Amino acid sequence: MGRGLRPDRVARSVFDIDLAALRRMGITALCLDLDNTLVGWNRPPDERIRSWLAAVAELGFRVAIVSNNSAARVAAFCDELGLHGVAVAHKPRRSGFRRALEILGAEPSRAAVIGDQIWTDVWGGNRAGCFTVLVRPLERREFLGTRVARAFERLWLLLLRRIDPPASMNRPLPTDPR
Ligand SMILES: [Mg+2]
Environment of ion ligand 1 (residues, CB < 5 A): 33, 35-37, 116
Taking alpha carbons only, the member of 25, 114, 4, 119 closest to residue 65 is 114
Q: Is the pLDDT at 9 greater than 70, yes or no?
A: yes
Q: How far is the CA of 95 from the centre of ligand 1 (A)?
A: 17
Q: Domain ranges in the chain?
A: 9-168
What mean pLDDT is predicted for residues 29-43?
A: 96
- 176 Cα: distance to centroid of ligand 1 (angstroms): 34
173 C-alpha to center of ligand 1: Å? 26
CATH code reported for the domain at 9-168: 3.40.50.1000
pLDDT on residue 176: 61
Of the pLDDT bands very low, low, confident and very high (cuts 50, 70, 90), residue 126 is very high
Q: Give alpha helix (H) positions in the chain.
A: 19-24, 47-58, 71-81, 95-104, 123-127, 144-163
CA of 164 to the centre of ligand 1 (A): 23
Report the mean per-residue pLDDT for the chain.
93
- pTM of the complete model beyond 0.75: yes
Give the amino acid at 87: A
